[in-house]
Amino acid sequence: MNNLPASIQQKVCDYYTDKVLTFGETPKGVDWNSRQSQELRFDQLLKICDQDIDFSLNDFGCGYGYLFEYMQQKNLKFRYAGFDLSEEMIQRSRKRYASANNCQFFSGSDFSDIADYTVASGILNVKLHHSDVDWEQYALNTIHKLNDSSQKGFAFNVLTRYSDKEYMRADLYYADPCFYFDYCKRNFSRNVALLHDYGLYEFTMLVRKI
Ligand SMILES: C[S@@+](CC[C@H](N)C(=O)[O-])C[C@H]1O[C@@H](n2cnc3c(N)ncnc32)[C@H](O)[C@@H]1O
């Protein structure tokens, strides 16, 4: 499975559109448990950026764009582009940040914009009925896109295989962090960091290209 078949892509899109329609522009509206965990994820992903200088950032699977707001609150100097499968998410993002002049939002699964950095929070977790083998192919293909769209580096998170069995769900994908670390080292850069020390049932990979 090199790309998500259109029918499955629609199901993933419907899954998240339903979340935001039910819970609104809140952490639960993008399927997270709390604001604290949503921001904790951002803190890990943003470690990829050299925050001392202006930078551009792609946010792949941006939801309602809360990362943009979080970065503004931190007074970072940046240009932001958010992408999401869900048109509903993108409409809400555009409305929410209509007065900002350093962000843009695009709907769809493909993006060709190249930025200094690309981050992706939570786009590899919900596999629905796919097998692990098929989803792994899709995940690797997606990670190649993150690489292609970033000049200085990229970062993503995935649920970890080191989760407690009793909490694991059949429709979610639990990745082997060592496999993804090795894959990133061999395919993208010698400078890769695996963060698995921040208390959530997931890990974050940072791939530094320069
Ligand atoms: C778990 S939510 C997280 C949203 C946001 N990153 C955050 O942390 O607030 C994942 C988002 O990624 C989007 N998404 C999932 N797969 C995608 C894909 N292949 N291309 C673009 N967006 C995708 C979903 O529509 C959803 O809004």
What digits encode the pLDDT tens for the residues 91-139? 999 999 999 999 999 998 777 789 999 999 999 999 999 999 999 999 9
Ligand 1 centre distance from Cα of residue 62 (Å): 5
Q: Is the CB of 25 under 6 A from ligand 1?
A: no
- Residue whose CA is closest, atom 4 of ligand 1? 63
Parts of the chain with a pLDDT under 50: 1
Q: Is the CB of 61 under 6 A from ligand 1?
A: yes
- Residue whose CA is closest, atom 16 of ligand 1? 123
Q: Is the CB of 204 under 6 A from ligand 1?
A: no
Rounded CA gap, 106 and 71, in Å?
19
Q: What is the pLDDT of residue 4?
A: 64
**Relative to the CA of 32, which ligand 1 atom is closest?**
1
Kind and range of the H or E run holding 144: helix 132-148
pTM summary value: 0.96
Q: What is the pLDDT of residue 3?
A: 62
Q: What is the pLDDT of residue 156?
A: 98
Provide the CB-side half-sphere exposure for 111 (13 A, CA): 31
Q: What is the pLDDT of residue 82?
A: 97
**Relative to the CA of 86, which ligand 1 atom is closest?**
25
Q: Phi and psi for 174 in degrees, rounded to 5?
A: -110, 110
Ligand 1 centre distance from Cα of residue 115 (Å): 18
Q: Which one, of 152, 96, 86, lies nearest residue 119 by Cα?
A: 152
Q: How far is CA 129 from CA 139, 160, 169, 170, 173, in A?
A: 15, 18, 11, 8, 10
**Relative to the CA of 66, which ligand 1 atom is closest?**
9
Angle, CA of 62, 65 and 70, to the nearest 5°: 115
CATH classification (class only), 6-208: alpha beta
Q: What is the pLDDT of residue 108?
A: 84
Q: What is the pLDDT of residue 1?
A: 46
